[in-house]
């Protein structure tokens, strides 16, 4: 097994940069600087003996005097005003940050995730609704049931699948009953990390915390007193939404438990001309916190007559993987595909129509095979293309500002940007049409993109 300390030169460099004088740990000084915290600790330690009795007795005595009542009322109002101004000064985000700390302590919880995507182009009406039931356990993993609304009505079993994710093992299992099929996917490092974040209320909150947000005040939701928080910050980013997206994100938190009751997000995507192309509405609801779970719930049950495909992604999907994927796409299609978001799913459909030597060879090899046989036969063959899609989606999720221009760039274009993403604030990595790559400044990238065919 590789040890993390095998690179001596790197250890020396990191020790020099990060390692520093040991922080001074002085509890006495901390106590002096935080008298209120000390008071809270001390009073809590003695609570069982006196705290619940003595203040009540004093209150009964002083409240008998009407003048005292008035004075107390005035003090309460002043205290509320001060409290409110403090609340604003410190930002209600402190309360929202507490919510994350509370979620981190919950061992298992369930909730529902509903989503609706609507195409806004009147010439291409489109609507799709999904709902996901999630069970998240810190100990055992994650289990979800995904359903899609049948265009003919009803949730039925039109598109239904069960997904088990085990982030620590970097493994995901998808079971699709309608196809009597399952997929076991061993994820690359980036997607393994994303497993922790996808469909996760903590990530949702974390993204809000990273933005400018406001408290919407208190309300009652399903009989529960809640406080709402909202952000419309253009920097809000979730499932890759970011640039060119408009977001309106809200979360309501139970005032007592400080755990979310509902999350609600509306995203609208605008094209370069400023026209709304489509909108997405997501709701996280029906939270059940601290539910008892059993290990058996997280053991996938796969009937004997189901067939399976195993996909093992390499741990590191790199620029080289992406270049291999782009090369393979050109061999199969004779050009770059227009987009690479779902390229692994569409490439076979595109290759079907292609007459390049590579596509003809592939079609010959697949002739007469069943769908399952084709899936299994193509696992290795399609890996670079899948890797390309992975890399691109991972960059989107990671806010690395990726872009792809396969619609206008050809394999002969040695000076045109085919794909790019941000490496650092002042560095972009660019893959050109002829598949050579280099790092450029944002200014140089702007020049290159200006020269792209419209």
Binding residues for another protein, rule: CB under 8 A, are 1-4, 7-20, 22-23, 25, 27, 30, 33-34, 36-38, 40-42, 44-45, 91, 93-94, 97-98, 100-102, 104-105, 168, 189, 193, 206, 209-210, 212, 258, 315-316, 398, 423-425
Which has the closest alpha carbon to 121: 278, 332, 4, 323? 278
Q: Give the residue with the Cβ less far from another protein, 109 or 278.
A: 109
- The DSSP letter of residue 138 is T
Q: Choose between 16 and 304: whose C-beta lies nearer to another protein.
A: 16
Instruction: Kindly state the smallest distance separating residue 445's Cβ from another protein, in Å.
Output: 18
**Closer by beta carbon to another protein, 36 or else 53:** 36
**Nearest approach, Cβ of residue 115 and another protein (Å):** 26
Kind of pairing between the strands at 307-312 and 276-289: unpaired
CA distance 16 to 445: 34
Number of C-beta neighbours around residue 292 at 10 A: 7
**Which residues, at least 6 apart from 449, have a Cβ–Cβ distance to it below 8 Å?**
403, 417
Q: How far apart are CA 180 and CA 160, in angstroms?
A: 11
At closest approach, how far in Å is the CB of 88 from another protein? 13
**Smallest gap, in angstroms, from Cβ of residue 211 to another protein?**
8
Question: What is the spatial distance between Cα 200 and Cα 134, in angstroms, rounded to a whole number?
Answer: 9
Q: Provide the 10 A C-beta neighbour count for residue 269.
A: 17
CB of 84 to another protein, least distance (A): 18
CA nearest to 355, candidates 377, 376, 335:
335
Strand partners for 301: none
Residue 31: C-alpha distances to residues 10, 23, 290, 302, 306 (Å): 39, 17, 34, 58, 63
**Residue among 2 and 415 whose Cβ is closer to another protein:** 2
Q: Which is nearer to another protein, 11 or 150 (CB)?
A: 11
Q: How far is the CB of 87 from another protein (least distance, A)?
A: 14
For another protein, give the closer residue by CB, 14 or 79. 14
Shortest distance in whole angstroms from residue 313 CB to another protein = 14
Instruction: Tell me whether strands 141-148 and 159-166 are parallel, antiparallel or unpaired.
Output: antiparallel
Q: How far is the CB of 195 from another protein (least distance, A)?
A: 12
198 closest CA partner among 249, 155, 163 = 163
Between 27 and 52, name the residue whose CB sits nearer to another protein.
27
260, 283 contact by CB (below 8 A) = no
CB closer to another protein out of 33 and 68? 33
């Amino acid at each position: 097994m590789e040890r993390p300390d095998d690179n001596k030169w790197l250890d020396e460099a990191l020790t020099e940069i990060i390692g520093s004088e040991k922080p001074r740990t002085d509890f006495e000084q901390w106590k002096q600087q935080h008298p209120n915290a000390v008071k809270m600790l001390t009073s809590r330690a003695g609570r069982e003996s006196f705290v619940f009795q003595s203040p009540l007795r004093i209150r009964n005595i002083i409240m008998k005097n009407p003048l005292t009542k008035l004075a107390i009322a005035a003090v309460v109002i002043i205290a509320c005003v001060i409290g409110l101004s403090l609340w604003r000064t410190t930002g209600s985000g402190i309360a929202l940050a507490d919510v994350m700390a509370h979620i981190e302590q919950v061992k298992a919880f369930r909730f529902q995730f509903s989503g609706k995507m609507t195409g806004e182009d009147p010439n291409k009406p489109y609507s799709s609704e999904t709902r996901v039931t999630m069970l998240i356990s810190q100990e055992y993993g994650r289990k979800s049931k995904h359903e899609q609304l049948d265009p003919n009505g009803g949730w039925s079993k039109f598109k239904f699948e069960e997904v088990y994710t085990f982030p620590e093992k970097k493994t995901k299992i998808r079971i699709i009953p309608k196809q009597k099929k399952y997929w076991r996917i061993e994820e690359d490092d980036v997607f393994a990390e994303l497993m922790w974040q996808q469909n996760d209320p903590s990530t949702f909150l974390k993204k809000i915390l990273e933005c400018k947000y406001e408290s919407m005040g208190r309300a009652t939701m399903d009989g529960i007193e809640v406080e709402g928080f909202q952000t419309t910050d253009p920097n809000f980013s979730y499932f890759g939404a970011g640039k060119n997206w408009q977001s309106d994100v809200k979360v309501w938190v139970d005032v007592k438990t400080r755990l979310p009751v509902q999350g609600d997000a509306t995203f609208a995507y605008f094209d370069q001309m400023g026209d709304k192309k489509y909108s997405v509405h997501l709701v996280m609801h029906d939270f059940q916190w601290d539910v008892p779970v059993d290990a058996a719930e997280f053991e996938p049950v796969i009937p004997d007559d189901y067939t399976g495909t195993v996909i093992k992604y390499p741990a590191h999907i790199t620029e080289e993987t992406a270049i291999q994927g782009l090369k393979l796409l050109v061999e199969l299609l004779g050009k770059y595909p227009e987009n690479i978001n779902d390229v692994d799913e569409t490439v076979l459909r595109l290759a079907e129509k292609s007459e390049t030597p590579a596509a003809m060879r592939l079609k010959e090899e697949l002739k007469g095979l069943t769908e399952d046989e084709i899936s299994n036969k193509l696992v290795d063959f399609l890996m670079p293309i899948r890797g390309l899609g992975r890399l691109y989606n991972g960059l989107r999720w990671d806010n690395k500002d990726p872009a792809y221009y396969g619609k206008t760039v050809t394999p002969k274009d040695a000076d045109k940007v085919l794909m790019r993403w941000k490496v650092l604030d002042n560095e972009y990595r660019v893959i050109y049409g002829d598949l050579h790559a280099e790092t450029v400044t944002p200014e140089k990238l702007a020049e290159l993109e200006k020269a792209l065919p419209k």
